[in-house]
């Protein structure tokens, strides 16, 4: 019942947020789009559909929910040994899992075979809410097995594991969005969370800036590990987005993007 209930929210809430943020981008755009919405949006919808199919196939083997259920059934993992109050387990799990996602993102930029997958995400020449859907299926497979293993090792309760996935997806939609936040609000939010302007730096064509701001939700990890960058060296308004070798129309094409890791 828990899994089914959260499953509905896991679809409905991000879908609603995507719709709201897309509208906000239209009213308060942070930057003009280079390639525009189409055919980029079509390509990103196709990525989402492809990953939904891949995710369904993965569910026959292992998914985060299955890992959490297995750990609970077998009393496996750190949290099952500690037997803390539920609120403390949930808080610890959220913080640790957020770091785990930060580290995965860091590794994607450091290890060449992982970067080939993740470069598909970075090749988008614009940054808007739909960029959060632009992940290659290869990256989805690696991410699913990685996070599932961590969930099992920690012994994260099922409800917490699924709630974290919802939280992570909502934050990814928010910080990829092309919305202009008031400077004071952005400054206040980024003390704790990754804001769109903070993540904008990470999508710079400047390689050194791509290796900063790896967070998806909490901003603390980039500050702790000295990978935080407040703004691009050329300024947010002048910053180019994407990869310097693909400054043309190709990243907006789905087939080309799918083949990118193999080329």
Mean pLDDT of the chain: 91
Domain count across the chain: 1
Give the pTM: 0.92
Q: Is the pLDDT of residue 2 over 50?
A: no
- pLDDT tens digit sequence for 46-62: 999 999 999 877 765 66
* Residue 215 lies in domain: 2-262
Which positions ≥6 away from 74 have C-beta within 8 Å?
none
Least confident among 6-20, 23-37, 112-126, 185-199:
6-20
| Cα distance between residue 243 and residue 155, in whole Å | 39
Q: Give the pLDDT mean for 14-32.
A: 94
- pLDDT tens digit sequence for 59-82: 656 677 777 777 777 777 788 888
Q: What does the block give as tokens for 62?
A: 């292992």
């Amino acid at each position: 019942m828990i899994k089914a209930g959260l499953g509905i929210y896991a679809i409905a809430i991000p879908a609603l947020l995507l719709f709201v943020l897309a509208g906000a981008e239209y009213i308060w755009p942070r930057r003009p789009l280079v390639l525009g919405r189409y055919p980029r949006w079509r390509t990103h919808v196709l990525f989402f559909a492809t990953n939904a199919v891949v995710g369904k196939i993965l569910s026959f083997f292992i998914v985060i929910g299955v890992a959490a259920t297995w750990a609970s059934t077998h009393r496996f993992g750190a949290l099952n040994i500690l037997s803390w109050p539920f609120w403390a387990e949930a808080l610890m799990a959220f913080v640790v899992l957020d770091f785990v996602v930060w580290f995965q993102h860091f590794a994607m930029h450091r290890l060449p075979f992982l970067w080939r997958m993740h470069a598909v995400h970075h090749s988008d020449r614009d940054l808007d809410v739909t960029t959060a859907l632009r992940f290659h299926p290869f990256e989805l497979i690696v991410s699913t097995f990685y996070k599932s293993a961590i969930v099992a090792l920690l012994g994260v309760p099922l409800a917490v594991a699924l709630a974290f996935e919802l939280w992570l997806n909502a934050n990814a939609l928010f910080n990829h969005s092309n919305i202009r936040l008031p400077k004071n609000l952005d400054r206040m939010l980024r003390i704790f969370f990754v804001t769109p302007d903070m993540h904008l730096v990470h999508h710079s064509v400047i390689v050194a800036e791509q290796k900063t701001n790896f967070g998806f939700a909490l901003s603390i990890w980039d500050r702790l590990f000295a990978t935080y960058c407040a703004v691009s060296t050329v300024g947010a308004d002048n910053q180019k987005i994407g990869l310097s070798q693909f400054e043309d129309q190709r990243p907006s094409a789905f087939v080309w993007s799918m083949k990118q890791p193999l080329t």
